[in-house]
Amino acid sequence: MNAPLTNLQARDLDAVIHPYSPLHKLRETGVTILGEGKGVFVYDSQGNEYIEGMAGLWCTGLGFGNEELIDAATQQLCALPYYHQFSGKGTEPAIALSEKLKEIAPTPIDKVMFTSSGSEANDTQIKLVWYYNNALGRPQKKKIISRLKAYHGVTLMAASLTGLPNNHRDFDLPFDGILHTDCPHHYRFAQDGESEQDFVARLAKSLEDLIEREGGDTIAAMIAEPVMGAGGVIVPPEGYFEAIQPILDAHDIVLIDDEVINGFGRTGNWWGAQSHGMKPHMISAAKQLTSAYAPLGAVMLPKFMVEALEDQSAKIGVFGHGYTYGGHPLGCAVGVKAIEIYQRLNIVEHVRSLTPLFEKRLQALSDHPLVGDVRNSGLMGAAEIVADKATKRPFDISQGVGAKCAAFCQEHGLILRAIGDAMAICPPMIITEDELNALFDRLEGGVNDTEALVSREDLR
């Protein structure tokens, strides 16, 4: 620690476990306690201002302090602060939000089931796919395909789907029946001289080989993010989903679209699927669904799935799945208002209008001696730090260069997330041109400080 712990920091460290943190180092590095937020800015307990360059965790699309969302939440709390969806009960906010989601969905959706999070939504998707196949008399069709570097959450099944080692290590995961196919990251995984087109063809062939090896009649679904967020903002090569989808269709394998990070305008369309040629059957949503003002996830289902659920319910006598807070009226009321605001602001067009500037500033970073690759989809991107640009050699993970860069960025008044050594950028979608330029100015300051540290300590 460079300074003594404040009272709040000491209380935090004595009481709170911090996810995705080096727990053993927090007393040394300290904890940043946030107290206020307005627009794209947040303020810590000591009054320091930061641009929130990650929209929290990819989620506060409308920024902080939006009065309309606060009013919608307040009004709902006064009217009906809680009710459930069990035993045929319902609320008007859940109805209205389901109708909104059906209206804007990228593929025909028949009904919506609500959860409290994206992890729960993805867990539910797998349970429903299993239930569906049992209803059709296919009890052997249960395996799920995910991808290396995918992120689908941290509950037991969602973490099994996630293709990141630290989500499995010493948690006794993944579960059996979860298959991980190749990551569509051309920069990292293409063979020497392999074009994006050839890379896509190789990945499609690898997927087909996996299905044939396992048996298509044993595989129920594939789950995929259009852009892989927590894996490092990995944007698939053009034609990737168009290449793999016919293979899935040939084996009657359902495609689940994890839009938890991509959805609600982030990529320059309402859904990441629309930006990247994906034609899903089922959709998971969360995060920007409420601009993170209330916890909420959604499972969006096609008619064939809903019909199977109803038929199986008739056989069993009940549909035995749901959550205490699924369809919480507070979250649904905020979700309805968030979508109304997205539509009124034409947030998709706003994202598209800022994307050229976002890309221009990212590309400028690619000239930096420390930056090996930059990539983006709409207002979501990453700058990947490397030890050697020519060979793409990364720094040793033990050096923690990405984490050091994130710390330097914070000193410059910018909160970002280091995913390994990829600096992820995902600001609130309401960001202005001036604020976006300020974000990249601060990022450049952090990268320059990191380069100075690398040179000073001879980390290459």
Q: Are 419 and 406 a contacting pair, CB within 8 Å?
A: no
The answer on 185 and 72 residing in a single domain is: yes
pLDDT computed for residue 144 by the predictor: 98
- Choose the final residue of a domain: 345, 366, 389: 345
**Which pLDDT does position 1 carry in this prediction?**
40
Cα–Cα distance for residue pair 444/441, rounded to 1 Å: 5
Establish if 27 belongs to a structural domain.
no
Q: CA 224 to CA 161: how far, in whole Å? A: 10
Q: In what order do the strands lie in the sheet with 178-181?
A: 111-115, 297-301, 282-285, 254-258, 219-224, 143-147, 178-181
Q: Residue 84 sits in a domain of what CATH number?
A: 3.40.640.10
Do 293 and 440 lie in one domain? The reply is no
38 in the same domain as 109? no
> How much is the average pLDDT of 297-320?
95
Q: At what angle do helices 240-250 and 196-214 cross, to 10 degrees?
A: 20
Average pLDDT over residues 355-381: 97
Cα 45 from Cα 50, distance rounded (Å) = 12
Asked if the structure places residue 159 within a domain, the reply is yes
**Span 19-66, pLDDT tens digits:** 989 999 898 888 999 999 999 999 999 999 999 999 999 999 999 999
pLDDT per residue as tens digits for the range 213-238: 999 999 999 999 999 999 999 999 99
- With respect to residue 25, please indicate whether it lies within any of the assigned structural domains: no
**DSSP-derived secondary structure letter, 236:** P
Domain that holds residue 415: 32-65+348-456
pLDDT at 317 over 50: yes
Residues 61, 185 within the same domain: no
Q: Which long-range contacts (CB under 8 A, 24 or more apart) does 171-174 make?
A: none
Taking residues 324-349, what's their average pLDDT?
A: 98
449 and 317 part of one domain: no
Instruction: State which of 311, 345, 379 marks the end of a domain.
Output: 345
Same domain membership, residue 387 and residue 313: no
Whether residues 289 and 353 share a domain: the answer is no
**Residue 11 belongs to some domain of the structure:** no
Packing angle of the helix pair 433-456, 401-411 (nearest 10 deg): 130
- Report d(CA 202, CA 214) in Å as an integer: 18
328 and 403 belong to one structural domain: no
Q: What is the pLDDT of residues 118-149, one digit of tens each?
A: 999 999 999 999 999 999 999 999 999 999 99
For residue 132, give the nearest of 313, 311, 308 by alpha carbon.
Answer: 308
The two three-digit tokens of residue 358, written as one number: 């976002």
Q: Is the pLDDT of residue 289 over 80?
A: yes
Element (H, E) at 311: helix 303-316
pLDDT in tens, 233-285: 999 999 999 999 999 999 999 999 999 999 999 999 999 999 999 999 999 99
Same domain assignment for residues 206 and 133 = yes
Beta-bridge partners for 145:
179, 222
Q: Kindly list the strands in the beta sheet with 381-385, ordered across the sheet, starting from the edge strand earlier in the chain.
A: 371-376, 381-385, 422-425, 417-419
CB atoms within 10 A of CB 246: 10
pTM here? 0.96
Q: How far apart are alpha carbons 459 and 454 in whole angstroms?
A: 5
Please report, rounded to a whole number, the percentage of residues in the chain having pLDDT higher than 90: 97
Please count the structural domains in the chain.
2
Q: Mean pLDDT in the chain?
A: 97
- Rounded to an integer, the average pLDDT of 403-414 is 97
C-alpha 99/C-alpha 109 separation (Å) is 10
- Extract the tokens encoding 80: 């009906």
Instruction: Reduce the DSSP state of residue 387 to 3 states and report it.
Output: coil
Q: How far apart are the first and last CA of the chain?
A: 25
Last residue of a domain, one of 345, 366, 386: 345
Are 279 and 245 a contacting pair, CB within 8 Å? yes
Report yes or no on 9 lying in a domain: no
Segment 74-94, tens digit of pLDDT: 999 999 999 999 999 999 999
Tell me, yes or no, whether 136 and 121 share the same domain: yes
Query: In the predicted model, is pLDDT for residue 2 greater than 80?
Result: no
The verdict on residue 418 lying in a domain is yes
Shared-domain flag, residues 362 and 338: no
Report yes or no on 242 lying in a domain. Answer: yes
Asked whether the predicted pLDDT for residue 4 surpasses 90, the reply is no
26 within domain boundaries:
no
Mean pLDDT, rounded, for 360-384? 97
* 219 and 302 share one domain: yes
Q: Return the H-helix or E-strand segment holding 350.
A: helix 347-365
Show the tokens assigned to 250: 């040939």
Cα 102 from chain centroid?
21
Axis crossing angle, helix 433-456 with helix 347-365, rounded to the nearest 10: 30
Crossing angle for the helix pair 118-135 and 303-316, nearest 10 degrees? Answer: 70
pLDDT for residue 283: 98
Tens-place pLDDT, residues 180-221: 999 999 999 999 999 999 999 999 999 999 999 999 999 999
Give CA–CA dist 365/139, Å, rounded: 51
**Rounded average pLDDT over 272-301:** 98
Return the CATH number at 401: 3.90.1150.10
